[in-house]
Amino acid sequence: MQNTVLIPTYRRPLDLSRCLTALQAQTKPANQIIVVVRDTDTETRQFLANFDPQHLPLQTVTVTQPGVVAALNAGMAAVTGDIVSITDDDAAPRPDWLASINAHFLKDTAVVGVGGRDWIHQGNQILDASRPIVGQLQWFGRVIGNHHLGVGEPREVDILKGVNMSFRTQAIGELHFDQRMRGTGAQVHFEMAFTLALKRAGGKIIYDPQIAVDHYPAQRFDEDQRHNFNAIAQINLVHNETLILLEHLPPLRRTIFLLWAIIIGTRDCYGFLQWLRFFPSQSQLATRKLIASLQGRWQAYQQFQTQNPLKPPLTQLQNSN
């Protein structure tokens, strides 16, 4: 079974060096390694020109558009392997990464996607908490991630995480990463759109905590600065999640999701009850988060209605009774 590793990168040559060094240590060597570089990223281009691949089958693909979606789609067009494994430039796959991935695809031909845990390094500390529920989409639309905290046996999930996900290329077919995802860099939730589409097609998506990468979250060069609030980044995040779920959920669950999201929401995407919960400690920041979240929901709903003009969710609900 031939393996391709796909790495989108932007202005992180030191992180990319660590990632490529980790790939040199794989017990099952990759057959193709694709690094996707932005045309304006001169520092990464210079690094790659001087990097000693030490027999790594390294290939560079250039992309002119910003954002991880454009980078991944450009890279996917060059994939030749039976399995494509995607990781970030700020991650370092552990030595048995590719071998463990292959084992799942060889064991069950119905498996179309495989992912694992990313061990997050915070300075000199490694985040080592644990959660049994990973990568699940609950019936009313709440998304549970926890890929960086997963424990237990391999199991089927709904969603994988972009830093550690692999796919059977034959199952992907003509599927592309969704270019409607907003953002100029991270484009949060792009992997959710992709994995849910594969799930709808009937494939099995497996999460195995033993398939591990070490993740060193690095600086982002866009509006999404991880833990610092930015209204545009928040609107984009909520828009992406909402649009994906509106398209994935059937009419009744779609309506319930919208009501839940607006009335309750989550710690990341505020509804009114979450706003009330955090207002005593966050004050005006909580209000800004609520406004941005509601804007993201509304903009996604408008886009969904424009692209799916047959009936709004509430009309569908009424007609189904």
Chain segment 79-104, per-residue pLDDT in tens: 999 999 999 999 999 999 999 999 99
Q: Token match 């600086």: residue?
A: 219
**Pick from 157, 5, 156, 131: which is nearest to 72 by CA?**
5
Q: Are 260 and 142 in contact (CB under 8 A)?
A: yes
Taking only the tens place, the pLDDT of each residue in 50-79 is: 999 888 999 999 999 999 999 999 999 999
Residue 215 Cα distances to 101, 112, 269, angstroms: 18, 24, 24
Taking only the tens place, the pLDDT of each residue in 250-301 is: 999 999 999 999 999 999 999 999 999 999 999 999 999 999 999 999 999 9
Q: How confident is the model at residue 227 (pLDDT cuts 50, 70, 90)?
A: low
Taking only the tens place, the pLDDT of each residue in 200-218 is: 999 999 999 999 999 999 7
**Pick from 77, 87, 14, 78: which is nearest to 51 by CA?**
14
- Find the distance separating the first CA and the last CA of the chain, reported in whole Å: 50
**pTM value > 0.95:** no
Q: Are 282 and 318 in contact (CB under 8 A)?
A: no
pLDDT at 126 over 80: yes
Taking only the tens place, the pLDDT of each residue in 16-35 is: 999 999 999 999 999 999 99
DSSP state string for 64-84: -S-SHHHHHHHHHTT--SSEE
Q: Are 37 and 101 in contact (CB under 8 A)?
A: no
User: Residue 179's CB: how many other CB atoms inside 10 A?
Assistant: 12
Q: Are 238 and 269 in contact (CB under 8 A)?
A: yes
